[in-house]
Amino acid sequence: MKRLSFSLVASQLLLLAMLIVSGPRLPQYSIGWILWASAAALALWAVASVRLHSLSIFPEPVHGGQLCQNGPYRLVRHPMYLALLILCTAYCVDHLSVWRLLATILLIIVLLAKISIEEALLLGKYPEYEGYRKHTWRIVPYVW
């Protein structure tokens, strides 16, 4: 499992780097800036809501960590992944290219795999996760 987890995180970081370097590094237009700032704000809110000893880029729950259900986690189970998708949208909307679109599609596939693994592990570690899943959206509020 550790090898798969490492591969998914490495793929995620590589695709994010590909997305950023395949065009202007910062948005050029207002809509890109609005989305970029929204992604940053959501990511910071999510990080501030999680106890630092519970934070990990890997899908496995941290030993001794706690299930976070406050902040943006009240609305969606994976706000950090949502922030990444908003960032991808910012880059694609601002300066669309084949490479950016490809990186975004592949990143979505990687994130779906990570979510699948992460949710299975969270179900096994936290008995309250099943109830939490029932009243929160997975990644996009009111959609999925």
Domain that holds residue 77: 2-51+65-135
Is residue 144 assigned to a domain? no
Is residue 118 assigned to a domain? yes
pLDDT of residue 52 exceeding 80, the answer is no
Is residue 99 assigned to a domain? yes
pLDDT of residue 60 exceeding 90, the answer is yes
Is residue 45 assigned to a domain? yes
Is residue 57 assigned to a domain? no
Is residue 21 assigned to a domain? yes
Over the stretch 99-140, which tens digit does the pLDDT of each residue have?
A: 999 999 999 999 999 999 999 999 999 999 999 999 999 998
What pTM value is reported for the model?
Answer: 0.91
3-state secondary structure the chain: CHHHHHHHHHHHHHHHHHHHHCCCCCCCCHHHHHHHHHHHHHHHHHHHHCCHHHCCCCCCCCCCCCCCCCHHHHCECCHHHHHHHHHHHHHHHHCCCHHHHHHHHHHHHHHHHHHHHHHHHHHHHCCCHHHHHHHCECCCCCCC
Is residue 109 assigned to a domain? yes
Domain count, the chain: 1
Over the stretch 64-101, which tens digit does the pLDDT of each residue have?
A: 888 899 999 999 999 999 999 999 999 999 999 999 99
Is residue 83 assigned to a domain? yes
